[in-house]
Amino acid sequence: DTGVSQNPRHKITKRGQNVTFRCDPISEHNRLYWYRQTLGQGPEFLTYFQNEAQLEKSRLLSDRFSAERPKGSFSTLEIQRTEQGDSAMYLCASRAPLSYNEQFFGPGTRLTVL
Amino acid sequence: AQTVTQSQPEMSVQEAETVTLSCTYDTSESDYYLFWYKQPPSRQMILVIRQEAYKQQNATENRFSVNFQKAAKSFSLKISDSQLGDAAMYFCAFVTNAGKSTFGDGTTLTVKP
């Protein structure tokens, strides 16, 4: 297991379409986080899971966004009816239990909405 | 809610010299963590250094060290003996016990040969 993986790495879609991203965390990491990063800015927190439970969602996560982690392993982030403003890098990170809050980041999925 | 401010959008340093990147934050919490992350162009974010707020001693990792001033809510990063590979975007992050992170907008570091 070499790290957090995200698929796809790039996604181009037309406005109004639905998209789904996947994140595979490091094995045994019980916490999984989603962030959104736009050009020239730092990542913004979207939501996080402890095992399969979604513990917190940012107000940035509108009702068009939904995230799941059904078996406490991989997670998916779905955006429905995409808008041009959704264009960004979507980052996933995971954290081991009892760690010093060190999060390991994946390479991200870059979404472009035309 | 927490805020993190990195007041230097861009910094440059000569190879082998020392550079300091600034970060200030605002919070009402007493127990938290502070991190510096490095994000090279088109590459993923990696941890540079971590500081627990309850520790007074400043963290050090090889050429990287921090100056943590809890009362002033300041957390600067010093890079000594800068190398070409240090060129990247650097992000300061405030992290709660739950792991929720608030990032600054980053500082782009250029290393001149």
Q: What is the pLDDT of residues B33-66, one digit of tens each?
A: 999 999 998 788 999 999 999 888 999 999 999 9
User: Among all chains, which residue has been given the structure tokens 């975007």?
Assistant: B89
Q: What is the mean pLDDT of residues A65-94?
A: 95
Split at pLDDT 50, 70, 90, the class of A59 is confident
Q: What is the mean pLDDT of residues A105-109?
A: 95
User: CB contacts < 8 Å between A and B, how many?
Assistant: 57
Position A105 pLDDT exceeds 70:
yes
What's residue A1's pLDDT?
A: 53
A2-30: per-residue pLDDT in tens? 799 999 999 999 999 999 999 999 998 99
What's residue A14's pLDDT?
A: 97
What's residue B24's pLDDT?
A: 97
Residues of A in contact with B47 (CB under 8 A): 102-104
Q: Chain A within 8 Å of B64 (Cβ-Cβ)? A: no
Count the neighbouring beta carbons within 10 Å of the beta carbon of residue A82: 21
Find out whether the peptide bond into A8 is cis, omega within 30 degrees of 0: yes
Please name which of B17, B41, B13, B20 lies closest in space to residue B92, comparing C-alpha atoms. B20
B9-39: per-residue pLDDT in tens? 999 999 999 999 999 999 988 889 999 999 9
